[in-house]
Amino acid sequence: MNAEPDLRTVVARVLESQDYDVRAVAHSGHAVLLGRTEQFDVLVAELSGPDVSGPTLAEQLRRHCPGLATVFVAYPGTPEGVDHVLVQPFTREDLLERIERALANVTA
């Protein structure tokens, strides 16, 4: 997960409370390194991350985690056209629903 520290912490806690095994990282490079040694089911990342965009990070991770589902967190006014965008502010339920949909699309 690549996001602002407070948002990253909140998202990680929500997912952990639902028994997801979470790896919360601050930089995309760390996420890519983890992806080389661990398999991930879903990536939650900022659409326009501070060091790399969420879609670019997803592309890099899919080299090692081919079935990776994605949910991108964005700010209001974000252009349309990207699947599984969760616009801030969002609720816990919004997050969980979006993740479930993203995972269902990968397995479908």
Domain ranges of the chain: 5-107
Distance CA 19, CA 38 (A): 17
pLDDT greater than 80 at residue 107: no
Assess contact for 2 and 23: CB atoms under 8 A: no
Torsion of CA 40, 81, 86, 68, to 10 degrees: -10
User: pLDDT tens digit string along 44-69?
Assistant: 999 888 889 999 999 999 999 999 99
58 against 5, higher pLDDT? 58
The Cα 25–Cα 33 span in angstroms is: 11
- What kind of architecture, by CATH, is found in domain 5-107? 3-Layer(aba) Sandwich (3.40)
Q: What is the mean pLDDT of residues 56-85?
A: 86
Flag whether pLDDT at 11 surpasses 70.
Answer: yes
**Average model confidence (pLDDT) across the chain:** 88
Q: Is the pLDDT of residue 22 over 90?
A: yes
Nearest by Cα to 38 from 17, 16, 13, 21: 21
Which pLDDT value is given to residue 84?
79
Is pLDDT of 2 > 90?
A: no
Instruction: Indicate the residue type of 60.
Output: Q
CA-wise closest residue to 70 among 106, 37, 107, 29: 106
Locus of tokens 């690549």 = 2
pTM listed for this prediction? 0.85
CA distances, 10 to each of 17, 72, 81 (Å): 11, 15, 26
